[in-house]
Every structure is written in C-alpha cells, then in structure tokens.
A and B are shown apart, each in its own frame.
Chain A
Amino acid sequence: SQELEQSPQSLIVQEGKNLTINCTSSKTLYGLYWYKQKYGEGLIFLMMLQKGGEEKSHEKITAKLDEKKQQSSLHITASQPSHAGIYLCGADEGGASGSRLTFGEGTQLTVNP
C-alpha cells in the first residue's frame, strides 16, 4: 500500500510568518488531498491535486504537486492564528475495490500571536 511521510511533524511559527509542509509518497500519486483538522473536530477539505506540476491556491494557502507526482507541498503565506491545526495529506489509492484514502501522520501547526 501507499506510504505517505509528512514533515515536519510539528511546527510553531509566529503570526505573519510563512511556512511549508511537505508530503512525500513511496509511489506515484494519482490524487493527492490536503485536509485541515482542528482539535476534536472532523477533517475539512482544502485542495486536491492530480496533475504533475499542478498548483492550487485558496486564500493564503497554496498546494503544489511536483512533476514526478511523488511529492506535494502546502505553503501558508502570512500565517494567522486561524491557520492553527493539524494538516493531513491523503493519497487516493484506486483499484478494483474502489477508491480509498491513505493518510500521512499529520503536521501539527501552532501559530503564536
């Protein structure tokens, strides 16, 4: 099965700073999802990337998938306390039994005011 490694595992930044979270796969990624989770809550969908070199942005969050489709990065510009939470990348493993997501362990982000 696909293994996803996220780095760093945790990150503490000062409000206003930029930051990057990485997600590396052991196999080619055919669908890469980014989710955000606040403590004690469910997962909120951020973005999905499929094509090599693809880049998407939503507000101050930008996600990229590299050309080889084995690594994705999530970049937050001018971080705010509202960005705090756990960020998870998930890879879509399609197959005869249907699609399913495999997740990385997550990156805990703290933004200090």
Chain B
Amino acid sequence: NAGVTQTPKFQVLKTGQSMTLQCAQDMNHNSMYWYRQDPGMGLRLIYYSASEGTTDKGEVPNGYNVSRLNKREFSLRLESAAPSQTSVYFCASIRTSSYYGYTFGSGTRLTVV
C-alpha cells in the first residue's frame, strides 16, 4: 500500500549509543518531516526537508541529524542517545502544499535507558 514507511517500530538504546531511524515514502512527495511526540507536549518538529537536497531545522533539532538520501527517503540520526530522547518519532510527507493533508508513518517508539 502507498504511504510512509518507518523502521524500526520499536527500539531500546543505552545512553550514548547511536542509531538511525529510516523513513521512506512512495507517493512522489516533495517534502518530508520528522516529529517527536511526548506526553503533554503534542508533536514537535525536529527537522524537515522541503525538497530533495535541502534540510532545515525545526523546533527541537538539538541532538539529531538528518539526511535526505533521495526523493523517497529521509533518515533521522541520533549520534549519542540521551534519556531525554525517549519519545515516539513520526515521519511525514506532502507533495508541496497538500489539500489532502500530510501523510504520517505509524511511528517509532524509542526508549533510551
């Protein structure tokens, strides 16, 4: 089915470990986004890529890096995980500005111990 695919769905890391969250969309969308969701704080934008070859910081970029590998794929990297990065991470995409809304992946639940 067409949509946004995130991997992995669950991950437990030790403090200081690194990992990359993968996101891929097959809808030929131009823009892609990474959000984190924490209780009582809604979704906050980490980084986004308006088009292939560009990336920009969102509201909470510290401790993260991103790569827009190609038009389909947008990865989020934690270089040295911290307990404060325990969260649910969502990837999203849109064509440019979408009357039909941003399409979200099913999320990655990350725990840093």
Contact = CB atoms under 8 A, between A and B. Distances in A.
A43 B109 CA distance: 14
Contact of B45 (A94, A102, A105, A106): A102
Interface stretch (B36-44, B67-75, B76-84): B36-44
Nearest to B38: A105
Interface residues of B, number: 32
A97 to B, nearest CB: 5
Contacts of A40: 107, 109
Interface residues of A, number: 24
A100 B48 contact: yes
A104 B42 contact: yes
B42 A41 contact: no
Interface of A: 1, 31, 33, 35, 40-43, 45, 48, 88, 90, 92, 94, 97-106
Given A33-B102, A48-B99, A90-B102, 18 more contacts: A1-B59, A40-B107, A41-B106, A41-B107, A43-B92, A43-B104, A92-B97, A94-B97, A97-B56, A98-B31, A98-B54, A99-B97, A101-B33, A101-B43, A101-B45, A104-B42, A105-B40, A106-B42
